[in-house]
Structure 1
């Protein structure tokens, strides 16, 4: 039998199954973390050339990566909550964008901590100490709100119980405050972090979240809320 005949009788290849959206998001997060991790220990600006090649556990770079990872995780949580509490496509689309973006960024920052062989949690050190702030102070976190802008446990419970327009307005208000706190922290990294790619990521957070704050103000106005 000729080679052509073999080709004609051989079974057709099984089509590859297309990955779903969740798989793509996971692959993207890992790929971005690996891509940026290779350049994460370089220092590009001349004024920071004496900074250590690998950040220390008390550095602004490590502190920002730890604290913003926690901050981002709550934004992802709130976005998943409101997704299930409203059918409004505009709010659900914003929630998806925030959850997807911040989950990917969180993966990158945790990947850097692994690359630097630094702990993801630093016991005995309050959040935002790297910014020269005392975190929540000696009184401890206010009902679970570890950092400025973060929602309290009571506010999260309220969001879980709300539905429809009430849930939309509460989410937009909570996320606006969350973004304001995140912008403040990201600006701190832009000023204090030594790793160039991390400073670039922080500036990107500032730009994106300030834009979303304006968007959410318009969305609140459309819903008759201040």
Structure 2
């Protein structure tokens, strides 16, 4: 049977990571009733942050393999579970609001970098803050375990910086509501993980 592969990861692997996160649940309480209506900024944020999280889950899956340092694999699993759960929350809210899961105008909602929608048309090539390119993701999957672990830390540090910037920009525009609370939770979690990643890179002379 033919297996579809996206960015070096089988769709089955991505689905498994997503399910694991959804079952474990994110730091944000998904038992809170979902919003019925979303404004345009909330909708755009949920769509684009979902794409951002999907890549993080994919990269984490790629380094959860024998030979990669246990501490890095543990971090990767935490990210995969946490962001997989948040991804489930965001997908559920978009579906309940009957809105598309993909943004037809990616990043048009974000004002932090004073960029126009035309500047953010292609997720795959890093238009979204912190995103890795297709080549970077593919290389992560093909590198020897020791090198893959360090590369993962560097890519995820940049990825988290971008995710934090997106969430901060959103909260600056929409400070209240369930989506804002989820964004605040992302800022808190990813800020802590970014600090940990920085320490891990320093310890490894990277």
Q: Same fold (TM over 0.5)?
A: yes
Evaluate the alpha carbon distance shift between residue 178 and residue 34 of structure 1 in structure 2; reply closer, same or farther with a 3 A threshold. Answer: closer
Deviation readout 1:65-118 (Å, 9 max, x if unpaired): 000000000000000001126331100000000000001001101111111111
Moved more, 64-73 or 154-163: 154-163
Counterpart of 2:94 in structure 1 is 113
Post-superposition Cα deviations, 1:150-188, rounded to whole Å, max 9, x if no partner, equal: 000111122112123211111000000000000000112
Q: Deviations over 1:6-29 (max 9, x none)?
A: xxxxxxxxxxxxxxx997744445
Go from structure 1 to structure 2 and tell me whether the alpha carbon gap of 1:91 and 1:143 turns closer, same or farther (over 3 Å shift): same
1:97 paired to 2:78: yes
Aligned counterpart, 1:35: 31
TM normalised by structure 2 equals 0.80
Change in Cα spacing, 1:22 to 1:114, as seen in structure 2 (3 Å) is closer
**1:132-147 matched pairs, under 5 angstroms:** 132=111, 133-134=115-116, 137=119, 141=122, 144-147=125-128
Q: Which runs of 5+ in 1 are unaligned?
A: 1-20, 42-53
Distance of 1:119 and 1:144 partners within structure 2: 22
Determine the C-alpha separation between the residues in 2 that align with 1:25 and 1:78: 14
1:55: Cα distance to partner? 1.9
Identify the match of residue 55 of structure 1 among 27, 38, 43: 38
Count residues in correspondence: 186
Structure 2: segments with no counterpart, 5+ residues: 1-16
Select 1:122's aligned residue among 83, 88, 103: 103
Query: Are the counterparts in 1 of residues 21 and 85 from structure 2 also a CA contact under 8 Å?
Result: yes
1:147 to 1:193, Cα distance in 2 relative to 1, 3 A = same
Instruction: Provide the rounded CA distance (Å) in 2 between the counterparts of 1:152 and 1:136.
Output: 18
Residue among 162, 171, 174 paired with 2:143: 162
Quote the RMSD (CA, aligned, Å): 2.6
Indicate the SS of the match to 1:90: helix
Q: Which has the larger radius of gyration?
A: 1
